[in-house]
């Protein structure tokens, strides 16, 4: 590991840290240490990083702003690559928007609304990055990324890069080809929006932000929606009807505000959260014969 770190630092790719607590990089504030934590300063730096990692046969995974993520208490083997500053460029050309994978969705939605561009209002309160949103086809308020994405620039596991069209990304509910069939990092995304009334767009964006504040427990550390909606049912409603709101295991608690959120009351572990997830799954299956699937991504050492 020492030689690898030395090589990365000589390549001047950005920040490189050992045994970095992932609790500092997830919105639920949970997670053991990553063996190696890298924050590339640009796309070129990321490409250099990937070449070095592949050459040394180091397992890796990418993260954005750490939402929708639960990291094991035992941490992550290998390297974690965080996309942030340096991979958050933004270019707006009439109705076409090109954003870096590390760009904040909330920040992007605000900027776009001020330009009078319509179609991104649904993302106003989603606390993730552009890369993560494309990866999981993030959505809310009846829309999602697949409705507005034109193409995305992907860095694949073998170090190759390719622009994939909307169709090639094979979007479905909270899913894309990047999750299983062709794992990769979203370097950039191009969105096609529409001209609209700036005042109406801003008002709609604010309404969506306010709705999240009023209905979701973002005043506590949390990972966002824990379960996928088992359509036509809704996860939060099933949890509430089962009387599970407020149920707590260790420091992890099902929010009393929204049944599809688990909050960290201050000292929760990943094991607490996993036990609570399993309890919900067992209860909903027993009561309603509905199998709940997690939307939150669970990663790290077993």
Q: Which residues are catalytic?
A: 174, 225, 295
Provide the 8-state DSSP code for 295: -
- The rounded Cα 158 to chain-centroid distance in angstroms is 22
d(CA 148, CA 97): 10
The token pair at 302 is: 């077993």
Helix (H, G, I), strand (E, B) or coil at 273: helix
Angle between the N-to-C axes of helices 105-114 and 198-215, in degrees from 0 to 180, rounded to the nearest 10: 150
Under 8 Å between Cβ of 150 and 134 = no
The token pair at 2 is: 């020492």
Helix (H, G, I), strand (E, B) or coil at 114: helix
Helix (H, G, I), strand (E, B) or coil at 259: coil
d(CA 100, CA 102): 5
Q: Which phi and psi (to 5°) does residue 263 adopt?
A: -110, 155
d(CA 67, CA 128): 6
d(CA 163, CA 153): 4
- The CA radius of gyration of the chain, in Å to the nearest whole number, is 19
d(CA 158, CA 110): 35
Under 8 Å between Cβ of 264 and 221 = yes
Pairing of strands 117-118, 90-93: unpaired
């Amino acid at each position: 590991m020492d030689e690898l770190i030395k090589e990365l630092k000589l390549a001047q790719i950005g920040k490189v840290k050992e045994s970095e607590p992932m609790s500092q990089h997830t919105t639920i504030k949970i997670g053991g240490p990553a063996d190696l934590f890298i924050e590339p300063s640009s796309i070129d730096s990321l490409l250099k990083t990937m070449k070095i990692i592949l050459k040394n046969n180091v397992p890796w995974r990418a993260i954005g702003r750490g939402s929708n993520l639960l990291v094991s208490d035992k941490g992550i083997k290998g390297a974690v690559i965080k996309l942030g500053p340096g991979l958050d460029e933004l270019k707006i050309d009439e109705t076409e928007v090109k954003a870096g994978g590390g760009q904040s969705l909330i920040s992007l939605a605000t900027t776009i609304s001020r330009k009078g561009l319509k179609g991104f209002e649904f993302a106003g309160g989603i606390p993730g990055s552009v890369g993560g949103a494309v990866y999981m086809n993030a959505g809310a308020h009846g829309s999602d990324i697949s409705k507005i994405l034109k193409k995305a620039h992907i860095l694949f596991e073998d170090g190759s890069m390719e622009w994939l069209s909307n169709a090639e990304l094979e979007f479905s509910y909270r899913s894309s080809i990047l999750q299983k069939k062709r794992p990769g990092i979203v370097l950039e995304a191009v969105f096609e929006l529409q001209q609209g009334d700036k005042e109406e767009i801003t008002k709609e964006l604010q309404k969506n932000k306010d709705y999240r504040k009023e209905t979701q427990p973002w005043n506590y550390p949390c990972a966002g929606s824990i379960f996928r909606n088992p359509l036509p049912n809704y996860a939060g409603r099933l949890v509430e009807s089962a009387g599970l709101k407020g149920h707590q295991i260790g420091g992890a608690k099902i929010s009393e505000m929204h049944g599809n959120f688990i909050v960290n009351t201050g000292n929760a572990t990943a094991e607490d959260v996993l036990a609570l997830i399993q309890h919900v799954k067992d209860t909903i299956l027993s009561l309603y014969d509905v199998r709940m699937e997690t939307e939150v991504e669970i990663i790290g050492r077993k």
